Amino acid sequence: MKRYAVYFAPEPGSQLERFGAEWLGRDARSGEAVAQIACPAIGAERLIALTAAPREYGFHATLKPPFALAAGRRLDELENAFVAFARECTAFYAPPLELAEVGRFLALVPSAPCPELDALAERAVRFFDAFRAAPSHAELVRRRHASLDARESELLDAWGYPYVLDRWRFHLTLTERLDSSERTLLRAALEPMVAPLCRTELRIDAVTLFVQPGIDEPFREHARFVFGHAGGVMEAR
């Protein structure tokens, strides 16, 4: 089953994009494996395991979670919707990133609240929902087993995913879920690596369409849509 997602992805060629590809060991734009950053505190084999899930999704921050296309919808229609969405957005700067623990995994997150990011994610969830096929009964059951509270269950029913709108948080995922000791060890190793990425504000000037060709295949960047252009701009990979 092919799936699509609305993501923030770092600007092509940026320091943040290079770090994400080298940390995860895969370039989401080319789809190619890259040499993974050495992390002596963990070891190469263990680092491969600890980055397995984020590597499959590509280095990104989710705006609208992955979805299959609704019946009767086509990719070209979705691309046109991205153009329209991006045309009405204005570029802005989010606060500098910082390394943080999000639940049991490590991620880069804004160092301060950013209403503009929250508004962008909410708009994406609502704007593209007409393209989303309803989740299967099995998927709903699986997600309900994840200890959702009442609000998260409500969001799951309405939007097909429990961590959207007021339960959404911008994050660039770096690891799998970790136990506390390994999380502490890896955080100490990561801090100096990410420090250069956390010195300046993060420019948000585009949304990116990611595609997963099949259920066992990794997500790849399909096209980047730049904000604010009168005719809409799609930067294909």
pTM equals 0.94
> Residue 157 in 3-state DSSP?
helix
Q: What is the mean pLDDT of residues 51-56?
A: 96
Instruction: Give the percent of the chain with pLDDT over 70.
Output: 95
Helix runs in 58-179, H state only: 75-87, 115-127, 137-144, 150-159
Topology at the third CATH level for domain 3-112+169-232: Cyclic Phosphodiesterase; Chain: A, (3.90.1140)
Burial track 40-63 (b if 16+ CB lie within 10 A, e otherwise): eebeeeebeebbeebbebbbbbbb
pLDDT per residue as tens digits for the range 212-230 = 999 889 999 999 999 996 5
The domain segmentation of the chain, as residue ranges, is: 3-112+169-232
Average per-residue pLDDT in the chain? Answer: 93
